[in-house]
Amino acid sequence: MAKKYQIEIPDSAFKKTDFSTNEELSLSVNHKQINIRPINVSDQLPKINIFWYVIPSIILAAIFLIFFSARNINTVPITGDDYSIANGALILGVCSGLLSFLITFIITKILGKGPSKDFHWRSLPTITIACGLIIVFSLSAIFWLFGQMFKDARFDIYTATAFIFVIIAAINYIMINLALTLSSGVITNLLTIMIIGGMLFSMLTNSKRDWWRYNFSFLGTAKNSTSLQFNITLIFTGLLMIALVDYLFVNIQRRYHGYKIQVLRWLLIMLAICIASIGLFPNNPEFHVLHDRISMWLVYIMLILIVVIRWVLPEVTKQFLVISYTIGAVMSIEYIVFKLTDYLSLTAFELFEFGLAFSWLLLLLQNIENLAQFGQNLFVVKLKPVKEDTN
């Protein structure tokens, strides 16, 4: 006969669930870890009423139709015109998506339901603007691709309106779902999409195809036609990182205390401020010296973080230390090679350093995120064998 075991769950942990006494639950084993959840997995998914995203989409699609009908425009191009599907989707989609996100976030936070209750109100403007910028980058890239694939394509006004409806409905659904599932992991993903997507968008759409012959900072200068997008990306990446650090350390300090945690927190905030300041003070002649100083401060803070991470990050693993010191050594070697030889161009050096530094930063934030989750939701349980009745 197979052995049976029972788990004693603390009352403080039980109160954080929606379980009831004698309720049947499902148990799964994944990577040697036990997960217990309701039998109906759909109960754990966010419930989004279809009317929440369809009705606003119908209203805005009707406004789009009325606007073009009033101007006697019978066919609408995909891109390339002030009155195009791309511009209509961009304006209406961003406004509707952000409004859907804001309303959902505010309502769930006021009611104390969902993950939004763990975020501070001060983080809401930064997260909202970052989401808006990601929508803009995504729609711009998609319609740029459509413009290349379907040159000079035009649709009648009713087909164009149907496209607008589908796009707005999809954006509304995504933004409502985002507000209902917001977490530190989601913010980290937003930060990654924000900085990589913004930079790639600036590289692809700028007027200087040979920008790489100058340096990486050229993308933010006045000589680049898309410098505004590039600089805004850096500014809000820094602000989004501050919001993420703020959220993580509020949770992590429930378990870990002392000045070392504060040192780690302020080093990360200073790093985020440097990232935002590089976008705020681009490498134009009037800001050249300040831009270079801030860039060097960014490098210094990164190196300080790598050196002191052994002491300031609680429960740091040997594997993460090895990765940290390896990345730090590679960055140092690249700097020496760049200064003493002509093997690396300035752009190549900056891209390599950025790639290594950003990869390490994401790993660090992932480690802090795990600590924050454990600090808030870690409980001690007992696993006992059940004695079988032999009678």
**Structure token pair of residue 146:** 């459509």
- C-alpha pair distances (Å), 213 with each of 342, 345, 347, 348: 14, 8, 7, 10
| pLDDT digits 0-9 by tens, 177-224 | 888 888 777 777 777 777 777 777 666 666 566 665 666 666 667 776
**Structure token pair of residue 11:** 């009352």
Mean pLDDT of 59-76: 89
For residue 315, give the DSSP letter.
Answer: T
| pLDDT digits 0-9 by tens, 19-56 | 777 777 777 776 667 777 776 655 555 677 788 888 99
Tell me how far the alpha carbon of residue 380 is from its chain's centroid. 32
The strand pair at 33-38 and 75-77 is best described as unpaired
pLDDT, greater one: 270 or 279? 270
Return the SS3 of 34. Answer: strand
Mean pLDDT of 345-373: 79
Residue 165 has pLDDT above 90, yes or no: yes
pLDDT, mean over the chain: 80
The answer to whether the beta carbons of residues 95 and 155 sit under 8 Å apart is no
| pLDDT digits 0-9 by tens, 317-346 | 888 888 888 988 888 888 788 778 777 676
**Residue 271 burial (C-beta neighbours within 10 Å; 0-12, 13-18, 19+):** buried
As a whole number of angstroms, the distance between CA 371 and CA 35 comes to 19
As a whole number of angstroms, the distance between CA 81 and CA 148 comes to 14
| pLDDT digits 0-9 by tens, 239-258 | 888 888 887 887 777 777 77
Is the torsion defined by CA of 202, 138, 245, 306 positive or negative?
negative
Q: What is the dihedral of CA 148, 133, 93, 107, to 10 degrees?
A: 160
CB atoms within 10 A of CB 136: 18
Q: What angle do CA 264, 297, 215 make, to 5 degrees?
A: 130
